[in-house]
Amino acid sequence: MSTPDTSATDTAEAEPLEVLGELLLVDDDALHALRTARGLEARGFQVTCAGSLAEASTLIEAHAPGFAVLEMRLVDGTGLSLIELLLGRRPDARAVVLTAFGAIASAVPAIRLGAADYLTKPADLDDLTSALLGQTPPAGLVLRPMTADRARWEHIHRVYEFCGRNVSETARRLGLHRRTLQRILAKRAPR
């Protein structure tokens, strides 16, 4: 009995039939950026990676891509400033903000600036691809209600953004000690 030849099938799955477009991936977490880039390349994007705001700005000014995945918090600034730069150079571009520190308080400004979507890490690559291409989520999508911990976290971040990201003022308004608030802000969002 002969074994089926899977090399042709593996090659067809590894190489997409069509190129979807150029994509700029901006993330200061090198391991996450590498995994995400490989996944997006397998789905048909030509990916260029940048690890900082300055590097990404230079790449956008040289040649604005049609798609971008932007990390919210970078070492040298916020990825939101790249949305304006990208859309100024290429109005038809689609930018998705991808962050480990997802909050409604930061999602609203991202969408107002022109981001196509706002996803929290770890995001499924299929969801990320759908957001980049403007496809609607599957009909069977089940939304989980927000937990009490998540609601508290969202409220704290909303007040923090309202106070202009001033930790002392936010702590005073929330009745928290400043160091306690700093620890809360440094943590990822509860599920």
Tens of pLDDT, residue by residue over 71-103, are 888 888 888 888 888 888 889 889 998 877 667
Residue 167's pLDDT is 94
**Residues of 46-81 as b/e, b for ≥16 C-beta within 10 angstroms?**
ebbbbbebebbbebbeeebbbbbbbbbebeeebbbe
Contact between 133 and 93 under an 8 Å Cβ cutoff? The reply is no
Q: What pLDDT does residue 8 have?
A: 44
Calculate what percentage of the chain has a pLDDT beyond 90: 13
pLDDT 10s digits, 23-43 = 999 988 887 888 888 888 988
pTM, full prediction: 0.64
Q: CA–CA separation, 134 vs 56, rounded Å? A: 23
Q: Residue with structure tokens 């600034």?
A: 77
Q: Between 4 and 43, whose confidence is greater?
A: 43
pLDDT at 169 over 90: yes
pLDDT band, very low/low/confident/very high, at 3 (cuts 50, 70, 90): very low
pLDDT at 12 over 80: no
- Per-residue model confidence as pLDDT tens digits over 132-150: 888 766 554 545 566 778 7
**Going from the N-terminus, what domains does the chain have, and what CATH number goes with each?**
19-133 (3.40.50.2300), 148-186 (1.10.10)
Instruction: Please list the residues that pair with 120 across neighbouring strands.
Output: 99
User: So what's the pLDDT on residue 107?
Assistant: 79
State the pLDDT confidence band at 191, using cuts at 50, 70 and 90. Answer: low
